[in-house]
């Protein structure tokens, strides 16, 4: 059979069939092999490659800055880096995770805030006129708090992120935890404008020790950060709300679900309210599945 006829039977082109026949006759075998050429006369010299790799190790810059420094095209620099497996910078080792939990309820309460876009422009309660420019509804500010030991959480929406709103939320938190027999001893916040000097003064007046996270270390306040992400996923984005009031009403229902019915792996399957009750009793209580009454 001719090469063309064999190619038709096998379903490939005549050129491909000719290539395989030529390899077989040359004794090269029919195994797959790299299509890389045997010779690359225009490949960069070894000295130039060493210069590129040395500059990469010294400065950690990309192909463009290294090319400008050595007078090379960025594509040439990238080809050299890829050839030696240096096209990606080495990732810095992640910092070790230090998990902690306070021994008693109220010993430390995490507090944080998050901006949420309003659904509609608010109206002035006296005139009934809409606030703000057309098409710009503005922002609501969600303040959250989480008890470090029990994970009992509370949240509330405020029209701004001022110290006055933060102080009002602190009083709201105290009332919330007092309902569960918990007294706040310390609060942990970031260094936001509403959590600075006046905030510290207000906390000390209420016999609460204010604590702050280190700069650029939000993981220190990780329980509040995690609670915010949970709220965004299970409350904000879980339903299509018709108005801001509709969303606010749903928040109170979700908080009740979070504290009384939502189990936590960190609490070994308990809910925050169950953790609070077992802590107050000084023992661990078995709980039944939620479907049972």
What the chain holds in terms of domains, given with CATH numbers, is 44-88 (1.10.10), 109-126+133-281 (3.30.420.10)
Cβ burial 118-156 (10 Å sphere, 16+ → b, else e): beebeeeeeeeeeeeeeeebeebbbbbbbbbbbbbbbbb
| 115, 162 Cβ separation under 8 angstroms | no
Helices and strands (H, E) in the chain, number of each type: 10, 5
Helix 46-59 vs helix 74-83: crossing angle, to nearest 10: 90
pTM: 0.64
Tokens of 113: 């805030």
Q: What is the pLDDT of residue 34?
A: 80
Q: What is the DSSP letter of 123?
A: B
Whole-number Å distance between alpha carbons of 185 and 207: 7
Tokens of 58: 């010294």
Q: Which residues of the chain have pLDDT under 70?
A: 91-92, 94-95, 97, 121-136, 280-293
Q: What is the pLDDT of residue 123?
A: 66
Dump pLDDT digits (tens) for 185-225.
Answer: 999 999 889 999 999 999 999 999 999 998 877 777 889 99
Identify the three-state secondary structure at position 210: strand
Neighbours of 194 (CB within 10 A): 21
Mention every residue, 6+ apart, whose C-beta is less than 8 A from residue 47.
none
CA nearest to 171, candidates 208, 125, 138: 208
Q: What is the pLDDT of residue 287?
A: 36
Task: Give the angle 86-84-48 at the CA atoms, nearest 5°.
Answer: 100
101 half-sphere exposure, CB direction, 13 A CA radius: 9
Whole-number Å distance between alpha carbons of 222 and 111: 10
Identify the three-state secondary structure at position 22: helix
Identify the three-state secondary structure at position 235: helix
Dump pLDDT digits (tens) for 65-105.
Answer: 999 999 999 999 999 999 998 888 776 676 676 778 888 99
- The position carrying tokens 């309902």 is 179
Q: What is the pLDDT of residue 179?
A: 93
Q: What is the pLDDT of residue 217?
A: 77
């Amino acid at each position: 059979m001719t090469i063309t006829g064999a190619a038709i039977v096998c379903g490939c082109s005549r050129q491909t069939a000719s290539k395989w026949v030529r390899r077989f006759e040359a004794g090269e075998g029919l195994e797959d092999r790299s299509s890389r050429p045997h010779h690359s006369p225009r490949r960069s010299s070894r000295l130039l490659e060493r210069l590129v790799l040395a500059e990469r190790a010294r400065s950690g810059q990309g192909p463009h800055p290294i090319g400008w420094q050595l007078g090379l095209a960025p594509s040439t620099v990238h080809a050299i880096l890829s050839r030696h497996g240096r096209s990606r910078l080495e990732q810095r080792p992640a910092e070790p995770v230090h998990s902690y939990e306070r021994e008693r309820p109220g010993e430390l309460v995490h507090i944080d805030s998050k901006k949420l876009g309003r659904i509609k422009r608010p109206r002035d309660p006296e005139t009934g006129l809409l606030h703000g420019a057309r098409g710009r509804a503005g922002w609501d500010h969600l303040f959250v708090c989480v008890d470090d030991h029990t994970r009992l959480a509370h949240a509330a929406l405020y029209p701004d992120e001022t110290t006055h709103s933060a102080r009002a939320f602190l009083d709201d938190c105290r009332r919330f935890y007092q309902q569960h027999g918990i007294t706040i001893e310390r609060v942990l916040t970031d260094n936001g404008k509403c959590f600075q000097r006046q905030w510290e003064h207000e906390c000390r007046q209420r016999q609460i020790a204010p604590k702050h996270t280190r700069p650029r270390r939000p993981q220190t306040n990780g329980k509040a950060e995690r609670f915010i992400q949970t709220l965004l996923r299970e409350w904000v984005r879980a339903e299509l709300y018709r108005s801001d009031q509709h969303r606010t009403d749903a928040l109170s229902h979700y908080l009740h679900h979070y504290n009384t019915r939502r189990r936590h792996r960190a609490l070994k399957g308990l809910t925050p309210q169950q953790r609070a009750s077992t802590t107050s009793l000084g023992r661990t209580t078995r709980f039944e599945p939620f479907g049972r009454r």
